[in-house]
Amino acid sequence: MLMRKDAVIIGGGPAGLAAAVALHKLGVRDIVILERESQLGGILRQCIHDGFGLQRFGCSLSGPEYASIFIEEVRRLGIEYHTDATVVSLSAAREIEAVTPEGILCYHARAVVLTMGCRERSRGSVMIPGERPSGVFTAGSAQAYMNIYNRMPGHEAVILGSGDIGLIMARRLTLEGAHVNAVFEIQDHPNGLERNIVQCLEDYGIPLYLRHTVTDIHGNSRLEGVTVSKVDEHSRPIAGTEKFYPCDTLILSVGLRPDTELLLDAGIELDPRTHGASVDEHLMTSAAGIFSSGNVLHVHDLVDYVSLESEQLASSVSRYLSKGFSSDRALKVRCGRGIGSTVPQKVSSGDGFTLSLRFDAVMENVVVKVSQDGRDILKKRMRKANPAEMVRLDIGSGATACSGDLEVSVE
């Protein structure tokens, strides 16, 4: 049976929950959340460390606590949701099929909200050679073993990659009695937030080696050790620098990618820079009525901004449902010097919006400039530019003209 909804929200993590609550409060009540796990909350359920909610709630919460604030709101408002419901297809005409233990659910939605989050890059994605023993985990799966299933991944660990989850897991393993040898990062700068370098590594005397990577994995059934090499400025291993580290556990924290398989089905245009959908300032994708926010749009550092972005999405969806708009005549937002990526990637009206960006290198004392046809719209001075930290700039209503592409660059 085909069910009609004003909005179907795919994914019940922090982005989907915030979007649902905000939509309900804006009067869009004919909505449903589809979540593939058996509980709402997404990745926050396994992020038991604190530090969530500092921007939004002014206090430091754990992931499950942060999620529960939104989950309780969803329940209190009586918003419909299905858990154990995996969406298997999405069309550009906004038809959705989900499989559940009770059978197949089919929806035709006036608006679709894509909030499926991201996935971890794995050993295969970074192509580490060597044998294939057990004991090689992504940071997130090690986190799930420890924090959800109460199982230790191992006792003698090496961590590859300095993303935040890897740093958090270095501390978590140490607290639970494992020994963490070192964290190795192939780039010349750490990938995680500065505060995590301090409170997860320095506090516990765990060394961080930049410009190093794992070049071999040893072990038949269980991991016995890894070979680590220095790399040159092109990230190529330098012969003769190999060093063997005995360990039973290798944790990979080598990046996150938006989980966009459903978008491919629907023929939605992706941005090769963010690996998520290419959207306009209303967070609408190339398919009319299909919107996206959170980590499936672009990987965030902080959940507080995932919630905020999803609330901005909700107000766009609400206006779309009442008035409708299109992004057919959108202007491009170009990445100029020093800019790695932006969201949105196009602008289709004079409405105010938040411009999120990442730098492409570590820099000091920079001025970020947003311009259109040589006219400066906004300039912002920053003490440091760090690709590991997303920057958000508010572009005022009426700031953009109706012709000429925008450019974001570093002066």
Nearer residue to another protein within complex by CB, 146 or 226: 146
Backbone angles phi, psi at 167, to 5 degrees: -65, -45
Tell me the sheet residues that pair with 291.
113, 284
Nearer residue to another protein within complex by CB, 72 or 261: 72
Nearer residue to another protein within complex by CB, 17 or 96: 17
Q: Which of residues 129-148 bind another protein (CB under 8 A)?
A: 146-148
| Burial zone of 27 (CB within 10 Å; 0-12 exposed, 13-18 middle, 19+ buried) | exposed
Nearer residue to another protein within complex by CB, 51 or 289: 51
> Does 199 engage in binding with another protein (CB under 8 A)?
yes
Residue 199 beta carbon to another protein: minimum distance, rounded to whole angstroms: 5
Residue 195 beta carbon to another protein: minimum distance, rounded to whole angstroms: 4
Antiparallel, parallel or unpaired: β 95-100 and 103-114: antiparallel
Nearer residue to another protein within complex by CB, 270 or 382: 382
- 112, 302, 306, 355: which one binds another protein (CB under 8 A): 302
How far apart CA 53 and CA 66 sit, in angstroms, is: 7
Residue 176 beta carbon to another protein: minimum distance, rounded to whole angstroms: 7
How far apart CA 335 and CA 331 sit, in angstroms, is: 13
Look up residue 383 and give its amino acid. R
> Does 64 engage in binding with another protein (CB under 8 A)?
yes
Half-sphere exposure of 63 (CA within 13 A, CB side): 20
In the shown chain, the binding pattern of residues 41 to 60 toward another protein, with x for contact by CB under 8 A and - for none, equals ----x--xxxx--xx----x
- 34, 182, 193, 317: which one binds another protein (CB under 8 A): 193
> Does 176 engage in binding with another protein (CB under 8 A)?
yes
> Does 191 engage in binding with another protein (CB under 8 A)?
no
**Are 193 and 288 a contacting pair, CB within 8 Å?**
no
> Does 175 engage in binding with another protein (CB under 8 A)?
yes
> Does 301 engage in binding with another protein (CB under 8 A)?
yes
> Does 104 engage in binding with another protein (CB under 8 A)?
no
Antiparallel, parallel or unpaired: β 406-410 and 103-114: unpaired
> Does 180 engage in binding with another protein (CB under 8 A)?
no
| Burial zone of 299 (CB within 10 Å; 0-12 exposed, 13-18 middle, 19+ buried) | buried
Nearer residue to another protein within complex by CB, 12 or 219: 12
Residues lying near another protein in the complex (CB under 8 A) are found at 45, 48-51, 54-55, 60-62, 64-65, 68, 146-150, 175-176, 193-195, 197-199, 203, 301-302, 389
